Amino acid sequence: MLVSAVTLGCALLLGQVETPEATVPEAPPQEEAPRTEERQEAVPAPPAEVVATPVPKVWDLQVPVPGADSPRQPFDRPVLCVSLPPTPAVPSGEWRARCDESKKECLVTPTWELDAEGHETGQRLARVNGCYDMLSPEVARGYRLVPAIAEAPPGWYRDERGRVLQYNFDLHRRIRVGGAWAPRWLHETSGRDDRVRVDFGVDLEWPGDTGRLHRMTLLDAELYLGDASSFDATLLRYDFRSERDEPLFRVTTFYGKPRRFDVFANLGFWMEMLHAEQVRREGVKADFLALGSTYATLDLWHSRDLVSYVRVRAGPTLERDRTNGFATLVPGAALEGDLTLDRDGFHHLLFGVEAQKILLAERVEGRPLRPERLRLRAGYEVIALAINDQPVSLTLDGRGTWRDDVANAPAGWEWSAQAGLRFSLWAPARRSAPVAHDRKG
């Protein structure tokens, strides 16, 4: 037991003695890392040309929409597409430009039509030339951009909103439908036939070789309804006119200074196929069918484009008298004129005098052996307005006919005064139509 006590005492004594700590060698001192600002100052400076390059900015140019007094883009100059910064009026930023390199100027117009407030609509500009090349905004910055009205084809006009309208019409190329009040007076009676006229037809015209003009009419028909109903219809009518360069003969006068006068023979050809006519007089009806007519024409005067003329024509017609059942030969001659009185084709004047003699006819009771016809006519047509660019015309017409070819009906004059409207379903601009400038035409 004594040994145990000694052992416990030694252990307590040893616990009171401190053990020395191990010495750890210190790490060598390290340099403090430089601050971020000091590192950036240590980087070499970039070249001077890099520093001078400007940072691209947003192009804030605001081009106004064109107004009534804005210039018009030329029709014959190339057009470019250009994208400009959007504006409240033109949010799409789509414009069309025609540029003048010498002036460093571009006439620009929106690609879309504008409404009454000057904002673009969902309707693209009609009847404009397409733009295929792009004008980049970077290049456009070097030009002065001027708001302008887009171009319009010859015979058409465009307003400041981009809407296009036709102001020039060719009434020799159209499909026409019309109606008129057409009363008739007979010389032998004091009464009046109350009638209305319905007319329609297709008119065509095209230039041929130099100095020639062709004209054709299809399904030309006039129907008279009411008292003494009748009709006058032609399946085909064709003629051509020409202008010769060399005179037919020359006349020289020697009174004072010698002078030379050239006389030209501007000859042409006129024909009709299947012209049907029904006549009613004093309760008597007669039907005639002209199988074919061939006339030679001579222009006494014509316009430079051959559209307007005053001429004479003469030739034979093979006709069948359907009422009496035999064929006849009907020679005839006419003096007639067709005048377009203005550049834009709004005013037209027609007049004519035609005489015919019926030959080789069989004898018919109640009429002469060789009956005659004489027709007078003067007409005026003026365009009043257009619907969807299709003209509506006012027509005035006066006619007189003397004939004795209706059996058992007294020979004499009949007169008719006609007034009405005519709608043309297709009437393009005249071939001589000008290009609209700052003002129409």
What is the per-residue pLDDT across 5-36, written as a single tens digit (0 to 9) for each? 444 444 444 444 443 333 334 444 444 444 43
pLDDT of 33: 43
pLDDT of 210: 82
**376 CB contacts (<8 Å, ≥6 apart)?**
352, 353, 399, 400, 401
pLDDT of 247: 83
Domains annotated for the chain, with CATH where assigned, are 80-166 (no CATH), 174-424 (2.40.160)
pLDDT of 189: 65
Q: Residue 21: CA atoms inside 13 Å, Cβ hemisphere, count?
A: 3
User: Do 95 and 84 form a contact (C-beta atoms < 8 A)?
Assistant: yes
pLDDT of 36: 38
Dig out the tokens for 348 from the structure. Answer: 């037209």
Q: In Å, how far from its chain's centre is CA 267?
A: 32
Please identify every stretch of the chain with a pLDDT value under 50, giving residue numbers as ranges: 1-58, 439
pLDDT of 59: 55
- pLDDT per position as a tens digit, 350-387: 999 999 999 999 999 999 999 999 999 999 999 999 99
pLDDT of 50: 36
pTM of the model: 0.80
Nearest to 163 by CA among 112, 224, 218: 112
pLDDT of 190: 66
pLDDT of 17: 40
pLDDT of 204: 97
